[in-house]
Structure 1
């Protein structure tokens, strides 16, 4: 018989205590800087086209305009540009022949912006709320209200020149004449100083309100429907729902739309230029700073003075934009 000897298991003594090795957790300190660098690099690459475009089409032209504003540069002149220093800026504020039209143009810009920004923003919000419903053919109505945005401003100005024409063939005069049974005369909506700026404001709002409407409509669609259901359960009226649910939900979007409309309203030029040159628009009542700069550069051939006008106007718009940003910024921002 074969005897099987039991296996002896040696118990570990104090000198033979098992050593358990615990692997330390991988440190994230060494990987965080690398990850942050990669994120920074990816963000830089993604924003590079926009940054390059901003520098090429805004930064470089503005810098060149600043340089030209210190020289006496005449368009088409065979003479070399001569150093003028701050003479262009001094003339812009002290010479009556230059300061008068410039200050009038600046006042017209401020008037235009003061009316267009609140009216167009409120109208865009009303249209967005109206079109934020699940109705049949709602896409058709959204397209209908947005369609003027795709029209070039020059085409819009031509269309409204036909509407506001002074003659009896003008669409507005013809409609008013028909309503008044022939007692309405041919009123010059564009040539009269009292209605010229109002005409520019109306056609500008008609052309641009659809763009702001689309932005606000996108903001309205991001508000959870549960908030409106909870408001209805609390028996909140439509006005209370608008005040306590809708407005807080689109506050950031509304601020963005107001600021964007402000910037666009300060650069008004196309409609004024087209209607002044071909529609009999009152030039003094509707002269804007951009119109003043363009006519100074290409009608008077004074590139240096036009550059000084654009530099001063740029700084004014930046200051006004920063003030507006400070006043109407969302409450959750520092």
Structure 2
């Protein structure tokens, strides 16, 4: 009877996890394997009948490709700046809207609304905001009124990526804010009450109660923000088309350009394979650095 019951439970477990495993295999595991496989071939999308095994030729070409290194540099630059900026912004917003006061739910909705809006729509909106013409661009109109010169945000190599970083942090902070709110709700309120009785001010309570209480949440947010940042594509594709001077062309953008615009499918797979191992490696490093002793 016990054996039969165990078999039934085991079968139920397989039936419930089966669809998730199938989807994982179909949309993640198999594509990764095929990407690595095709990276060893010279494969033109327009000529699928002409697939030639080329060994490590694509990888040899890749490491000599200055556009690949430029894309990697742009991706790393974006990640190093947007991850701490977006995480800090999300934490600040979570602390601000964590108070149980009348009307605070409205602000939570406002801060989270960019997250549920299409990135394409957000990008087009910020193109208008970043317009270099003060009569059309809201930000430059404000700068001119303050006595400053207008800034060509998206067409200047010095400012284009920074403009995308600011917009991306604004758009994505709402999601991390909700995660931090869940973490804040898990911190016992009596800790704050005891600290207040002992004379601790708000800053001290934040440093010695809030931050330690959110340690695991912060690690999780850093990890998911890092992975999301490495996949940057839509913003430069819509806002700058990888320019100016390739300063916003990321690795994902370069993979798209090689595979779908130029038809170099095998070479695009090689870049994608290297990109995959870079993301996995960075994720493991961050996990190691944030591991609790």
The TM tier, using the shorter chain, reads: over 0.9
User: Structure 1 residue aligned with 2:246, among 273, 281, 284?
Assistant: 284
Distance 2:251 2:93 in 1: 31
Equivalent-residue separation in structure 1 for 2:6 and 2:203 (angstroms):
47
How far apart, CA to CA, are the structure 2 residues paired with 1:56 and 1:116? 31
Q: Which of 2, 13, 18 pairs up with 1:48? A: 18
CA RMSD, aligned part only? 2.1
**Structure 2 residue aligned with 1:203, among 156, 162, 167?**
167
**Who is 1:18 aligned against?**
none
Shift of 1:299: 1.8
Q: Which runs of 5+ in 2 are unaligned?
A: none
Distance in 2 between the 1:42 and 1:328 partners?
A: 37
Structure 1 contact 275–281 (Cα < 8 Å) conserved: no
- Seen in structure 2, the aligned counterparts of structure 1 residues 176 and 93 have a Cα distance that, compared at 3 Å, is same
2:277 aligns with one of 300, 315, 322: 315
User: Aligned to 1:129, which of 92, 95, 104?
Assistant: 95
Aligned equivalent of 2:140, options 156, 164, 173: 173
Contact 2:115/2:172, CA 8 A, preserved across alignment: yes
1:255 positional shift? 0.6
- Equivalent of residue 158 in structure 2, options 175, 191, 194: 194
Could you tell me how far apart the structure 2 residues matched to 1:215 and 1:78 are?
A: 45
- Map residues 91-170 of structure 1 onto 2, 5 A cutoff: 91-94=61-64, 99-168=65-134, 169-170=136-137
Q: TM-score, normalized by length of structure 2?
A: 0.93
Residue 88 (1) aligns with residue 78 (2): no
Structure with higher Rg: it is: 1
Counterpart CA distance in 1 for 2:127 and 2:8 is 55
- Find the aligned partners of 1:137 and 1:62 in 2 and give their Cα distance: 47
Give 1:266 deviation, angstroms.
0.1
1:184 to 112, 128, 149: 149
Aligned to 1:13: none
Give 5+ residue unaligned stretches, structure 1: 1-29
- Whether contact under 8 Å (1:191, 1:282) holds in the other structure is yes
Measure the CA separation in 2 of the matches of 1:68 and 1:289: 18
What is the match of residue 41 of structure 2?
71
SS at match of 1:285: coil
SS for the counterpart of 2:73 is helix
Distance 1:119 1:78 in 2: 44
C-alpha displacement at 1:144, in angstroms?
0.4
Aligned-partner Cα distance in 1 for 2:115–2:84? 19
Shift of 1:248: 2.0
CA contact (8 A) 1:75 1:303 kept: yes
**2:226 is paired with a residue of what secondary structure?**
helix
**Alignment equivalent of 1:221, drawn from 185, 197, 200:** 185
1:272, distance to aligned residue in structure 2 (A):
0.7
Q: Look up the SS of the partner of 2:44 in the other structure.
A: coil
Q: Classify the secondary structure of the residue corresponding to 1:73.
A: strand
TM-score scaled by length of structure 1: 0.82
Q: CA deviation at 1:59?
A: 0.9
Count of aligned positions: 292
How far the C-alpha of 1:45 sits from its partner, in A, is 4.3
SS of 1:193's equivalent in the other structure is coil
Q: What SS is found at the alignment partner of 1:81?
A: strand
* Cα displacement (A) at 1:34: 8.1
